[in-house]
């Protein structure tokens, strides 16, 4: 019955039920915190399984749906929990995704990467490419010379870069340089492998109404757009998403939704008024730089059902609105639970 109601509301409004009002995700049996002496959770494997479940559910609804983890390159390799020196490719995980998005490969935000850390990241990114995955890279660069250098370094390795002038979550405008995308082309982009450039916009509200935003994007020839599902307080309509899918030249492009699977935010549609740190149990500490955004125990079924698996879930809404795929932010949340003193960007 819930599924029928959700579809009916979508047909009438163009917005999935869960986005038209605060969702009431199905509640799985409670999972108690690990007791002393209980088996240790393989945090990395749990994140792999989460991403794999998102991919499997999404592709039941749309077989061509694109799934791209943001960071978390370590997940491409499995390590033995008892002997970290023993490794093997994470084959099931790599088959579940279409590419990876790496933030700050050559030009990170803040302090430069140490040689060892950069070498490790490059090795993992090259492993992803060798496995047939598309490698998208966001580099932090403002000046033209640095942007050109970022493009040159990544293009030489077969990676597809985008130069961001500010942190990812604050990207709200098209960078002034270059005036036209690198590798601009008239081709229709039908798969992720075809994309030669891309744009990230975390907040589109500065562009005005939804129709104004989509027409301004229509004036550019990026092969792929990575955007938030919401434009201000409202979800992007199906019509808006469809308009975003076409370049100025007329060719088709990809429109990907960026969603966070490692944190719950009080400003998102799914948040309940009574939620807070520790209630439900799987909502944990807030981010240092954003007290309205809490880390979650992503291995718990209650949170996973918010993200994927039913007509009230985030992924269902993304597909219903016509997005070509998702970029999964927060995939590297396992690092916090491995060592709460290390922020994701500080980790190797």
CA-CA distance, 163 to 307, in Å (whole number)?
A: 29
CA-CA distance, 223 to 345, in Å (whole number)?
A: 27
Beta bridge partners of 252: 246
pLDDT of residue 35: 39
pLDDT of residue 10: 39
Which sign, positive or negative, has the C-alpha torsion 119, 122, 126, 127? positive
Q: What share of the chain has pLDDT > 90, as a percent? A: 81
pLDDT of residue 179: 96
What is the torsion angle, in degrees rounded to the nearest 10, for the CA atoms of residue 72, residue 78, residue 84 and residue 87?
-120
Coil, helix or strand at residue 174: coil
What is the torsion angle, in degrees rounded to the nearest 10, for the CA atoms of residue 106, residue 111, residue 115 and residue 117?
-80
CA-CA distance, 151 to 163, in Å (whole number)?
A: 8
Name the token pair of 226. 């990575």
Per residue in 208-243, pLDDT (tens digit) is 999 999 999 999 999 999 999 999 999 999 999 999
- 186 has a pLDDT exceeding 50: yes
Buried b (16+ CB within 10 A) or exposed e, 167-177: ebeebeeebee
Structural contact between residues 256 and 326, judged by C-beta atoms closer than 8 angstroms? yes
DSSP letter for each residue of 14-61 = SS-HHHHS---PPPPPP-PPPPTTPPPP-HHHHHHHHHHHHHHHHHHH
Per residue in 97-139, pLDDT (tens digit) is 999 999 999 999 977 888 899 999 999 999 999 999 999 999 9
pLDDT of residue 82: 77
Start-to-end C-alpha separation, the chain:
47
Q: Domain 2-24+44-346: which topology?
A: TIM Barrel (3.20.20)
**How would residue 63 be classed by pLDDT, with cut points 50, 70 and 90?**
very high
> Tokens 């130069």 sit at which residue?
163
């Amino acid at each position: 019955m819930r599924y029928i109601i959700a579809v009916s509301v979508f047909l009438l409004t163009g917005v999935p039920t869960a986005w038209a009002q605060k969702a009431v995700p199905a509640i799985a049996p409670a999972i108690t915190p690990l007791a002393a002496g209980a088996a240790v959770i393989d945090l990395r494997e749990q994140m792999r399984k989460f991403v794999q479940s998102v991919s499997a559910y999404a592709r039941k609804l749309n077989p061509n749906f694109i799934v791209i983890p943001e960071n978390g390159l370590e997940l491409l390799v499995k390590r033995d929990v008892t002997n970290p020196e023993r490794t093997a490719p994470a084959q099931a995980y790599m088959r579940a995704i279409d590419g990876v998005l790496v933030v700050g490969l050559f030009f990170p935000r803040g302090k430069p990467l140490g040689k060892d850390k950069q070498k490790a990241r490059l090795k993992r990114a090259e492993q992803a490419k060798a496995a047939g995955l598309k490698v998208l890279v966001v580099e932090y660069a403002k000046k033209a010379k640095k942007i050109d250098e970022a493009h040159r370094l990544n293009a030489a390795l077969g990676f597809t870069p985008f130069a961001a002038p500010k942190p990812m979550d604050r990207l709200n405008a098209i960078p002034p340089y270059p005036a036209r995308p690198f590798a601009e082309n008239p081709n229709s982009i039908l798969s992720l492998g075809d994309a030669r450039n891309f744009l990230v916009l975390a907040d589109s509200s500065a562009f005005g109404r939804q129709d104004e935003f989509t027409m301004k994007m229509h004036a550019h020839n990026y092969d792929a757009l990575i955007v938030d599902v919401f434009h201000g307080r409202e979800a992007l309509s199906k019509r808006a998403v469809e308009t975003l899918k076409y370049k100025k030249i007329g060719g088709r492009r990809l429109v990907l939704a960026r969603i966070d699977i490692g944190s719950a935010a009080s400003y998102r549609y799914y948040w309940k008024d009574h939620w807070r740190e520790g209630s439900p149990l799987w909502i944990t500490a807030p981010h240092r730089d954003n007290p309205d955004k809490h880390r979650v125990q992503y291995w718990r079924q209650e949170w996973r059902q918010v993200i994927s698996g039913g007509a009230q879930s985030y992924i269902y809404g993304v597909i219903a609105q016509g997005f070509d795929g998702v970029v999964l932010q927060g995939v590297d949340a396992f690092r916090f639970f491995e060592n709460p003193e290390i922020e994701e960007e500080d980790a190797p």
